[in-house]
Structure 1
Amino acid sequence: MASTQRVTFQDGLTWTVVGDDGRVIEPVEAYLDFARQSDYSPNTVRSYARSLALWSTHLARRGRSWDAVRLTDFGSFLQALRAGEVGSATVALRPVQAISDATVAARLRPVMSFYRFHAAMGVPAASFLYDQVNGRPGRYLPFLEHVARRQPRRRSQVRVRVRPREVTVLEPVSVEALLAAEAQFDSDSGEWSGDLRYRLLWTLLAETGMRIGEALSLQHRDWATGRGDTASVHIVPRHHPHGVRVKSGARRVFVGSRLDRLYGDYVWWLCDRGGDAVIENWDGAYIFCNTIREPLFAPLRPESIYAHLDRMKRLVPELPSAMTPHWFRHTHATALLLAGTPLHVVSRRLGHRDVQTTTNTYGHVTDDAELAALANWRQVVQGWEPRAND
């Protein structure tokens, strides 16, 4: 069986794929190295390595070399993925656990990209995967289509049909219950009790739609406190000691005055715990840091956040068991769209490179809102009825 292998080096970590003999599978490593040079995130490289390890295991069981595959190998791979048979020590006769088509498609995508890469490098492997299609698909063509000079398109011969995935959101009562469980303000003493660090983190995610990696990458220099104007947070791509990355490049996100005040209280909260004596360079210090475990005031790990959220799920019954920090992002985008915020504005706030990404992910939100507006049919058609004076 092929397996993924974690590789640690001075600037971070990555993953590769090794065979039964413990040696790196060279064709796979060549593709993964291309992905690293293309600035793919370590998590993406890890996911691609996992998929290619499954593919290599599948080919080994069929006695097939990677550059001598047939179309039937891909069909059997899809079937084995759905049955959960790839990567197990024994091949089950019947599926043990059904795997969604979205997961199957995610596993297949790196394999297809792997063969596209080697085809571009001149390796004649799996040339049957794509065929050239001239013209536009569909029955109707635009005016003067016959004189347009269009390049042929490549169409994949292996595809997985995936239903659009519905995003999961949090109810306001769930968000409020989590914030209250993290920290509360005592108006009599004028102090916060609890872990203000996590209250600030969840509030930031809920009110900005940031990804968890973007929030963990923030340094104090990135928070521009409002001084007669609107406060903002600058998301800046930078090297993080725990491999956290900013996915969508640099952007500025405006925040409200309440969140800005909460950040100010948090800075004083850090000072009360000795941060002012330990942190020499506040501008370059990470906002979300260790306050209990050593090393104190070092950048917080993503694993710590997920472990903390698992504990909070057991303490706060209002939280869904499947909740992840990414649910705050979905909740923020859904709330903006239901409030009538233009789609392109939501797209820029979320940091999507293409507004089509926002449409594909949250298009059902606006569709449902428009359909819900038609629920009162009589009110809608009232304007159609002829007036008595007409």
Structure 2
Amino acid sequence: MTVVGGVVVVAVGVQLLDLPGGGRSWTVLGEDRLPIEPVEEFLEHHRLIGSSPNTVRSYAHALAGYFGYLAAVRVDWADPGVAGLTGFVGWLRSGGPPGVRTIGVAASGGAAPATVSARVAAVVAFYRYLESAGHRVRVPHASTAGPRRSRFVGMLAHTQRSPRPAGVVRVARSRSGPPPILTPAQVAAVLDCCARRDPGSGDWTGSLRDRLLFALLAESGLRLGEALGLRHADWHTGGGTTGFVQIVPAEHPHGVRVKNSQYRRVYVSAELGRLYGDYLWQVADTAATRGLTVDDGWYVFCNLTREPLFAPTRPETVYALVRRCRRELAGALPEEWTPHWFRHTHATALLLSGVPLHVVTRRLGHAHVQTTMDLYGWVSDEAAMRPVAEWRRFAAGWPVGAEDADGQVGS
């Protein structure tokens, strides 16, 4: 059974936490409505080392399900063994009650392969942390594998003295195709769904903030968190030169952050700069009604129509906007599109236009060029392989000599 400190533990759910300073995090509660100690220690470790709040939330949901499963099948969390972990995997896949084995087709409601892989990875990370922290636990060896796994090996990899044992439980990630993208017409439809400009008067109707956000994502390839973290001091409109936004790692009230914690500069078009200028005037007019002036330290994307005014926009607000656009543009866009599709679209467009891979890597903020290759290598492959379809035309021009006396083709 699942016991912590001599007490049987049944995970009852994930609890949202409001942290000092306006941040958010998550923990897992036991049946006594208190945090489960080893889980909370693991989550607090990730808070302290600066892991993304989304990472903490994902770990919390995975471990809540895991501890709930172990309690249901009466397996000790400190030593679940291979059977405990494989049973958890089977339960996730089946969607049925814990401990009930299904044969053949899994019950409806089972988790997708990607979800199973992510939750198993969270469980293994939990045990590895506890092991490294000195807890007496047995790490269930598991691994996840998928089609995008890089074959890159460091130059000194052979010098490692204690390689981690191969996973006994191997969970394959779902085989997915190229990253999803939007067509130029679909991007334009999303922008117009947010705000439109009257060609006669030049006035905007709708939310100029929302249009600017999606236009920025589509043109720059920024991650949503990077865009929401921009301050007015980070946006340089040009003044005779090419404008740019600078991505600066910093704390954010809603936990969004710059991935890899690396500064970079992303150049943007004059058209996007003009859109930002129109929006800035709107922010300034709203501030004037409160006797305020726009400060360089204000976040670019903020509340303009509800209290608290000028508070930074939450990611949840953006996803509510996505749901509205999905309803209004039903049939015109894929139902599952998200803001991250703009990033995929931007990267794909750059590579199709011939921009070198290393330049795309720097613009996207990937830590390694291999990441860009793993995600978007298919673009270069398709461009390189396209001429193969015309092989007959190329072959028609090949010079072929007459057969010589030995029956060989001469050059």
TM-score if structure 1 supplies the norm length? 0.88
Between the aligned partners of 2:190 and 2:342, the Cα distance in structure 1 is 12
The answer to whether residue 334 in structure 2 is matched with residue 320 in structure 1 is yes
1:5 matched residue in structure 2: 15
Matches within 5 A, 1:302-341: 302-317=315-330, 318-341=332-355
The answer to whether residue 369 in structure 2 is matched with residue 355 in structure 1 is yes
Between the aligned partners of 1:325 and 1:96, the Cα distance in structure 2 is 29
1:73 matched residue in structure 2: 84
Q: CA deviation at 1:233?
A: 0.1
The answer to whether residue 298 in structure 2 is matched with residue 285 in structure 1 is yes
Between the aligned partners of 1:242 and 1:130, the Cα distance in structure 2 is 33
Matches within 5 A, 1:1-390: 1-2=10-11, 3-11=13-21, 12-85=23-96, 95-127=107-139, 129=141, 149-154=159-164, 155-166=166-177, 167-249=179-261, 250-275=263-288, 277-317=290-330, 318-382=332-396, 384-386=398-400
Counterpart secondary structure, 1:159: strand
Checking the alignment, whether the CA contact within 8 Å between 1:275 and 1:297 is kept in structure 2 is: no
Percent same amino acid at aligned positions?
46
Amino acid at match of 1:7: L
User: In 2 relative to 1, CA 203–284 (structure 1 residues): closer, same or farther, beyond 3 Å?
Assistant: same
Counterpart secondary structure, 1:233: strand
Root-mean-square deviation over aligned CA pairs: 2.6
Amino acid at match of 1:8: D
Checking the alignment, whether the CA contact within 8 Å between 1:130 and 1:157 is kept in structure 2 is: yes
User: Please, which moves more after superposition, 12-21 or 365-374?
Assistant: 365-374
Amino acid at match of 2:93: R
2:6 matched residue in structure 1: none
User: In 2 relative to 1, CA 276–208 (structure 1 residues): closer, same or farther, beyond 3 Å?
Assistant: farther
Counterpart secondary structure, 2:389: coil
Amino acid at match of 1:336: L
Please list every run of 5 or more consecutive structure 2 residues that lacks an aligned counterpart in the other structure: 1-9, 144-155, 403-409
Between the aligned partners of 2:185 and 2:267, the Cα distance in structure 1 is 24
Any idea what the Cα deviations from partners look like across 1:336-371, whole Å, max 9, x if unmatched?
111122222111111111222222222222223322
Please list every run of 5 or more consecutive structure 1 residues that lacks an aligned counterpart in the other structure: 132-144
Checking the alignment, whether the CA contact within 8 Å between 1:279 and 1:285 is kept in structure 2 is: no
Any idea what the Cα deviations from partners look like across 1:12-39, whole Å, max 9, x if unmatched?
1211111112122111111111111221
Amino acid at match of 1:321: E
Q: CA deviation at 1:384?
A: 4.4
Q: CA deviation at 1:281?
A: 4.6
Between the aligned partners of 1:273 and 1:35, the Cα distance in structure 2 is 39
Between the aligned partners of 1:279 and 1:112, the Cα distance in structure 2 is 51
Q: CA deviation at 1:216?
A: 0.9
Checking the alignment, whether the CA contact within 8 Å between 2:245 and 2:265 is kept in structure 1 is: yes
Q: CA deviation at 1:372?
A: 2.6
Q: CA deviation at 1:274?
A: 4.4
User: Please, which moves more after superposition, 356-365 or 271-280?
Assistant: 271-280
Checking the alignment, whether the CA contact within 8 Å between 2:194 and 2:210 is kept in structure 1 is: yes
User: Please, which moves more after superposition, 175-184 or 331-340?
Assistant: 175-184
TM-score if structure 2 supplies the norm length? 0.83
Checking the alignment, whether the CA contact within 8 Å between 2:248 and 2:264 is kept in structure 1 is: yes
Between the aligned partners of 2:19 and 2:114, the Cα distance in structure 1 is 33
Q: CA deviation at 1:60?
A: 0.9
Checking the alignment, whether the CA contact within 8 Å between 2:124 and 2:139 is kept in structure 1 is: no
Between the aligned partners of 1:229 and 1:307, the Cα distance in structure 2 is 36
